[in-house]
């Protein structure tokens, strides 16, 4: 038996936790950091074509610059949560992970509204116009829906901390 903070666990359990944490952390790194950080290149690979500069600008603006950084912070948080599950650190780690997720969701939805500026080709049909286009997508309610799980996660973390305190 080995001691993991305040929890007595078997060595095998620690090994499982490490492996599971590493897998989940790697998955989190891939999904929450690698994909948004390399969005353009991945999109180009999937579509098997060079993304035109105008479209590249639009696609780039879909990803908030801070999103990969938060995604990068999520990977170790996921690993630590998997490792320290059931310990006294699990409650604070759950709160931290949930807050990171909440931040990630907020950045993913650009705070509830995303504005894109497009420069498009001249309109055809004999209209000699070189237009500029801007699109604004309001999705505050959808963002609120996605914020519910992290908020519940924060509540869960607080309850975990209260439970640990009561057991002491």
Contact residues for other proteins, defined by CB under 8 A: 123, 126-139, 141-142, 145-146, 148-149, 152-153, 155-156, 159-160, 162-163, 166
Cβ at position 142, least distance to other proteins in Å: 4
**Which of residues 1 and 133 has its CB atom nearest to other proteins in the complex?**
133
153: enclosing H helix or E strand = helix 140-167
Cβ at position 113, least distance to other proteins in Å: 9
64-99 burial by CB neighbour count: b if 16+ within 10 A, else e?
Answer: beebbbbbbbbbebbbbbbbbbebbbbbbbbbbbbb
Beta strand pairing status for 7-9 and 2-4? antiparallel
**Which of residues 31 and 135 has its CB atom nearest to other proteins in the complex?**
135
Grouping H, G, I as helix, E, B as strand and the rest as coil, residue 3 is strand
**Which of residues 15 and 113 has its CB atom nearest to other proteins in the complex?**
113
Cβ at position 115, least distance to other proteins in Å: 10
Cβ at position 91, least distance to other proteins in Å: 10
**Residue given tokens 């309850």 in the structure block:** 159
In the DSSP assignment, the letter for residue 7 is E
**Which of residues 50 and 134 has its CB atom nearest to other proteins in the complex?**
134
């Amino acid at each position: 038996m080995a001691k993991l903070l305040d929890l007595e666990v078997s060595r095998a359990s620690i090994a499982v936790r490490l492996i599971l944490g590493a897998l989940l952390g790697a998955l989190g790194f891939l999904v929450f950091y690698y994909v948004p950080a390399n969005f353009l290149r991945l999109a180009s690979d999937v579509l098997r074509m060079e993304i035109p500069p105008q479209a590249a600008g639009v696609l780039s603006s879909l990803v908030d610059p801070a999103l990969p950084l938060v995604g990068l912070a999520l990977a170790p948080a996921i690993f630590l949560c998997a490792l320290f599950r059931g310990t006294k650190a699990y409650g604070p780690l759950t709160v931290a992970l949930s807050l990171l997720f909440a931040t990630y969701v907020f950045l993913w939805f650009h705070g509830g509204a995303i504005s894109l500026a497009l420069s498009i080709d001249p309109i055809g049909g004999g209209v000699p116009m070189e237009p500029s286009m801007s699109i604004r997508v309001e999705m505050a309610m959808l963002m609120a829906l996605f914020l519910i799980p992290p908020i519940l996660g924060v509540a869960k973390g607080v309850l975990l901390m209260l439970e640990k305190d009561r057991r002491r």
